[in-house]
């Protein structure tokens, strides 16, 4: 079987400080089928803390620690850095996330291996760290809003990377079969009887144009089960009206 797209994409966390964030990134990777987590940190406390967290996914157990960005991306043919497009002047080409997705997909489907780098929560990637990247990507955001949380940013990026090829985790329930014209006509007939029997037709003759009811019933976009249910309700009403 062909190696999955996800197995050819590494997530690289550079100087992440908060173990909860490292755990959240691992969780998003697990959600979307990614397994290759790489951590670049001067000191290993956050990584060790994340590993000892309760819901430490297998992703965290197989994650690898590197001493530098260069080592972390050594086997990658396309390296993307993430940026919030702050005030800093960027010397890299920058893609919107949805366009970066195309580049990454192209790279890995032609035999390459890609990495997506996330910088520290506070300062993002440094110019030196960015210099190891081929391109940068940015998640479109509301400028006036607050900065994005690392775990949420990773979830959004990974979702975009699998979005095109995604299939539901279980088969979706089949859509109900819409009622056909004959079935709807049966319901209209019973409705007509109710309008007569209840005195509505007598009291509001102006509302009794057949085309009005025909359109009204069609706007209900009924499925077959709905038609049967409504006919049941209307027949019961008729029975009660006639009994009295």
Interface residue with its own copies among 148, 201, 208, 238 (CB under 8 A) is 148
Residue 27 lies near its own copies (rule: CB under 8 A): yes
Residue reference for tokens 């309008």: 195
Minimum CB distance to its own copies, residue 205 (Å): 32
Residue 119 lies near its own copies (rule: CB under 8 A): no
Residue 106's CB is within 10 A of a number of other CB atoms, namely 12
Of the pair 60, 115, the CB lying nearest its own copies is at 60
Residue 4 Cα to chain centre, angstroms: 19
Cα–Cα distance measured from residue 22 to residue 50, given in angstroms and rounded to the nearest whole number? 6
DSSP SS3 for 168: coil
Cα–Cα distance measured from residue 70 to residue 76, given in angstroms and rounded to the nearest whole number? 10
Cα–Cα distance measured from residue 169 to residue 185, given in angstroms and rounded to the nearest whole number? 39
Stretch that binds its own copies, among 9-17, 27-35, 71-79, 211-219 (CB under 8 A): 27-35
Minimum CB distance to its own copies, residue 208 (Å): 29
Cα–Cα distance measured from residue 12 to residue 60, given in angstroms and rounded to the nearest whole number? 12
Cα–Cα distance measured from residue 226 to residue 204, given in angstroms and rounded to the nearest whole number? 27
The most distant pair of C-alpha atoms in the chain lies apart, rounded to whole Å, by 87
Minimum CB distance to its own copies, residue 215 (Å): 18
Minimum CB distance to its own copies, residue 155 (Å): 4
Interface residue with its own copies among 44, 64, 98, 235 (CB under 8 A) is 98
Stretch that binds its own copies, among 69-77, 102-110, 153-161, 209-217 (CB under 8 A): 153-161
Residue 1 lies near its own copies (rule: CB under 8 A): no
Residue 175 lies near its own copies (rule: CB under 8 A): yes
Residue 151 lies near its own copies (rule: CB under 8 A): yes
Minimum CB distance to its own copies, residue 43 (Å): 25
Contact 118, 13 (CB under 8 A): yes
Interface residue with its own copies among 11, 24, 50, 125 (CB under 8 A) is 24
**Closest by Cα among 244, 230, 229, 148 to 197:** 244
Q: What's the alpha-carbon Rg for the chain, to the nearest Å?
A: 29
From residue 30 to residue 59, the character string flagging contacts with its own copies as x (rule: CB under 8 A) and all else as - is xxxx---------------------x-x--
Pairing of strands 135-138, 94-96: parallel
Q: Summarize as ranges the residues that interact with its own copies (CB under 8 A).
A: 24, 27-28, 30-33, 55, 57, 84-85, 89-96, 98, 138-143, 145-149, 151-153, 155-156, 159-160, 162-163, 166-170, 172-173, 175-176
């Amino acid at each position: 079987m062909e190696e999955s797209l996800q197995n050819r994409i590494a997530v690289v966390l550079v100087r992440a400080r908060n173990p909860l964030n490292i755990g959240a990134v691992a969780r998003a990777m697990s959600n979307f089928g990614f397994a290759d987590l790489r951590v670049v940190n001067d000191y290993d406390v956050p990584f060790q803390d994340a590993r000892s967290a309760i819901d430490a996914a297998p992703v965290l157990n197989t994650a690898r620690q590197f001493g530098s960005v260069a080592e972390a991306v050594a086997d990658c043919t396309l390296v993307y850095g993430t940026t919030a497009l702050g005030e800093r002047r960027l010397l890299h080409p920058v893609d919107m996330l949805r366009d970066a997705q195309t580049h990454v997909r192209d790279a890995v489907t032609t035999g390459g291996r890609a990495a997506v780098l996330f910088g520290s929560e506070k300062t993002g990637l440094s110019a030196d760290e960015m210099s190891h990247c081929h391109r940068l990507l940015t998640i479109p955001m509301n400028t006036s809003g607050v900065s994005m949380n690392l775990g949420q940013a990773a979830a959004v990026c990974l979702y975009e990377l699998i979005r095109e090829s995604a299939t539901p985790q279980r088969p979706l329930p089949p859509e109900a079969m819409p009622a056909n014209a004959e079935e709807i006509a049966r319901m209209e007939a019973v409705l007509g009887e109710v309008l007569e029997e209840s005195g509505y037709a007598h009291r509001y003759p102006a509302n009794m144009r057949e085309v009005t009811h025909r359109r009204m019933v069609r706007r209900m976009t009924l499925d077959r089960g709905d038609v049967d249910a409504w006919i049941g309700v209307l027949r019961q009403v008729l029975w009660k009206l006639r009994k009295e």
